[in-house]
């Protein structure tokens, strides 16, 4: 190749690179063409990113499916498409304070009617309960257990519903000094697998080995986690 032709080609390359740099410098951002969920690559590869125009989900971190009205940025984590760019997640939380629930003599776990209801968004929550616990008999035992389930909280005196799950570790209190003296207690735990979009309840169940068991000054709190 002649030297003048070589210099001409290099000049054209330099001009092209300069024009590309100006174009990138003036760009306001990358653009992904929105597509319907059904049009996403099959099979997808982990790490893929796409803009979905008909997502049912709009909350960051929730699972993307088609048939909705939301336009979101989605990424594939190796097993499912998740919202990467969308609405900030609302963290569900709740609290109830019950001064003096009714005592029980039941020797099997019985719900205390302290149900806390909320609609799950993120699928997992940290739950804590504080209060005081007692038993009327000297040496009598009162056991307490946090529980959760789907739907409306059970009323006082009901047995734990089918499908109810325990939270954390069971509290076992044994009375002394003639019985009747209250002792502070605290129970907490992490629950996972909450069904997003469904109402869940969190409550307390008591049972006694002997005597009459009760709790008072109870505060029950739940807070969903990102």
Q: What is the model's pTM?
A: 0.63
Residue-wise pLDDT for 69-87, tens only, equals 989 889 898 999 988 876 6
Domain boundary among 85, 102, 125: 85
Same domain, 72 and 108: no
**How far apart (Å, rounded) are the C-alpha atoms in residues 225 and 128?**
13
The proportion of the chain whose per-residue pLDDT surpasses 70, expressed as a percent, equals: 84
Same domain, 81 and 102: no
Task: For residue 10, tell me if it sits in a domain.
Answer: no
**How far apart (Å, rounded) are the C-alpha atoms in residues 116 and 148?**
9
Instruction: Point out the least confidently predicted range of 46-60, 92-106, 183-197.
Output: 92-106
Same domain, 147 and 202: yes
Confidence at 124, pLDDT banded by 50, 70, 90: confident
**How far apart (Å, rounded) are the C-alpha atoms in residues 160 and 96?**
19
Is-cis flag, bond preceding 106, omega within 30? no
Same domain, 49 and 131: no
Q: What domain range includes position 175?
A: 93-224
Task: For residue 9, tell me if it sits in a domain.
Answer: no
Nearest Cα neighbor of 149 from 133, 134, 162, 159 is: 162
Same domain, 149 and 181: yes
- As a whole number, mean pLDDT of residues 32-51 equals 91
Task: For residue 115, tell me if it sits in a domain.
Answer: yes
Residue-wise pLDDT for 45-55, tens only, equals 998 899 999 99
CATH code (residue 196) = 2.60.120.760
Q: Average pLDDT over the chain, rounded to whole?
A: 85
Q: How many domains does the chain have?
A: 2
Residue 36, strand partner residues: none
Same domain, 101 and 76: no
Whether pLDDT at 21 is above 60? yes
Domain boundary among 85, 105, 125: 85
Task: For residue 29, tell me if it sits in a domain.
Answer: no
Residue-wise pLDDT for 154-171, tens only, equals 999 999 999 999 999 899
Task: For residue 65, tell me if it sits in a domain.
Answer: yes
The pLDDT of residue 9: 66
- As a whole number, mean pLDDT of residues 4-18 equals 65
Same domain, 154 and 55: no
Same domain, 109 and 188: yes
Task: For residue 152, tell me if it sits in a domain.
Answer: yes
Inter-CA distances, 202 with 126, 142, 208, Å: 11, 20, 21
Find out whether 149 and 201 touch, Cβ atoms under 8 Å. yes
Inter-CA distances, 163 with 52, 146, 153, Å: 36, 14, 13
């Amino acid at each position: 190749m002649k030297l003048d032709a070589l210099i001409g080609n290099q000049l054209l390359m330099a001009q092209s690179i300069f024009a590309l740099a100006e174009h990138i410098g003036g760009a306001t951002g990358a653009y992904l063409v929105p597509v319907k969920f059904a049009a996403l690559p099959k099979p997808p590869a982990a790490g893929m990113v796409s803009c979905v125009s008909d997502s049912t989900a709009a909350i960051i971190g929730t699972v993307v499916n088609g048939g909705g009205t939301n336009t979101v940025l989605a990424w594939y984590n190796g097993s499912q498409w998740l919202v990467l760019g969308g609405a900030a997640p609302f963290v569900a939380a709740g609290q109830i304070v019950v001064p003096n629930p009714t005592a029980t003599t039941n020797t099997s776990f019985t719900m205390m009617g302290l149900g806390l209801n909320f609609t799950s968004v993120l699928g997992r929550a940290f739950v804590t309960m504080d209060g005081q616990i007692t038993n009327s008999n000297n040496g009598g035992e009162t056991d307490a257990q946090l529980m959760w389930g789907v739907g409306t909280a059970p009323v006082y005196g009901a047995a734990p519903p089918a499908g109810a799950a325990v939270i954390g570790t069971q509290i076992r209190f044994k009375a002394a000094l003639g019985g009747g003296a209250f002792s502070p207690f605290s129970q907490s735990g992490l629950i996972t697998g909450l069904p997003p979009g469904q109402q869940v309840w969190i409550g307390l169940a008591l049972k006694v080995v002997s005597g009459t068991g009760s709790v008072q000054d109870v505060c029950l709190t739940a807070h969903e986690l990102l």
